[in-house]
Amino acid sequence: MGQFALAVTISSNGEVTRFRHFGKGISHISQWTGREDKELQRVLVAVLAGGRNINMEVMQNIRAFHDFLYLVQYRSHDDETLGYIHNALAIFHKTKQVYIDTGARRVHIPEFGSSLQFTTEIIERNHKPFAKQLYTHTNHRDYEEQMCRVLDRHERLTHFQDLLAYATRIYNETTLQKSLLQYLPAFQQRMQKILLPTPTATSKISKLMETRKATRLWLNVNPTRSRLSLTDISTIYSLPDLSSETVKLLETMCGPSTANVGHLQNLCHADVWESLTICLPDVQDEDLQSRAHTINAQPPNDKYPYGHCHCVLVTDSPDACTAGIEGYRVAQVRLLFQLHFRGSIRESSGSYASTLDLAYVQWFTSPRRAEPNINMFRVSRPELNGEPRQGS
């Protein structure tokens, strides 16, 4: 892949909120900083994999290098994650000879220095407690292993102290509850409020974090468009099968006699949103949130003739794995809307609903197996054969 082909491929990627879009490629950027490095790392492997006549070992080397970069950024490591890092390094060193064999241009890497906006502040701040002080606890011979052992012991003691504090609190609460069983419930509640620790600001923050943890999807309070008919939405978003797919959904939920395309317009109206924010848990700690992702579902306009719509992973099976892609499919979100019924509908479960929160998506082909050189999945849109693209 030449420089021009690389620039064209990168610039043709769709714009994603909170991600850098290289609309004019990467060769025109005069001041290359660490931020540009990070943004390019997100797409480089996939961009190169889509090129023609890419050397197999080059792809393996670049993929292993990127695997290493992302793995070492984990907050903590265990034997399994360290094994991933060693495997990535092994593949990198095994395939790096390909650059010499193919006659790649020679560069003296140290002359480039480090990219701007990369900071060593975190490393410098931790150098004293994690290196200098630990070194004094060793016999100054083979000190690396001894320093790691001291760190491990400190971590185990900290975990034990946290567990002991938790067990003590539970024991005190249980003992108090047992001692109050002989009294009336109202008196028990008053005494528990007096004797047990009172909520603090930290508990309020914890409650907020629990709410955010349970709520991974965020929408604006006010919709982008309100009280539209499905016919109007179909026209604005160029979705000819929206009404028929909505009827299919209602038949699945409530039975075949619920609605038909003819009188669906009199049954409900819809509010529409053009974006959705997803806050997923951190890959290592479910109590922490990773970077928020904004999913756009904008209709066709002058700037985006086919709309500005992003893709998501959708659960396609109740047996979907928590890790990997098995049981999932890639879909493009074309519409985010809420149906408002005139009255309420009775679902098959017996409950009644006056609104339904829905998303209209268009599917990609199911991922079958990972590409051997990049360990990524390749998907494509189904063939149309001249017909409008269908969704659900």
Q: At what angle do helices 230-237 and 242-254 cross, to 10 degrees?
A: 130
d(CA 65, CA 80): 18
Residue 159's Cβ-count burial label (10 Å; 0-12, 13-18, 19+) is exposed
- Domain-embedded: residue 375: no
Residue 344 has pLDDT above 70, yes or no: no
The range of the structural domain enclosing residue 283 comes to 217-363
- Domain-embedded: residue 161: no
Q: What percent of the chain has pLDDT over 70?
A: 83
Question: How confident is residue 66, by pLDDT bands cut at 50, 70 and 90?
Answer: very high
Structure tokens at 37: 């490095």
- Domain-embedded: residue 326: yes
How many structural domains does the chain have? 1
At residue 84's C-alpha, the angle toward residues 79 and 88, to 5°, is: 145
Output the pLDDT for position 255: 67
Q: Tell me what the mean pLDDT of segment 72-101 comes to.
A: 91
Helices marked H in the chain: 3-11, 34-49, 56-71, 79-95, 98-101, 121-127, 133-135, 143-179, 185-195, 201-214, 230-237, 242-254, 261-267
pTM assigned to the model:
0.70
- pLDDT per position as a tens digit, 219-271: 888 999 998 888 899 999 988 888 888 888 887 777 665 555 555 656 678 89
Mean pLDDT: which of 61-70, 208-217, 376-385 is highest?
61-70
- Domain-embedded: residue 11: no
Question: How confident is residue 90, by pLDDT bands cut at 50, 70 and 90?
Answer: very high
Element (H, E) at 338: strand 328-346
- Domain-embedded: residue 181: no
- pLDDT per position as a tens digit, 171-230: 888 888 888 888 878 887 887 777 776 555 455 666 666 666 667 788 888 999 998 888
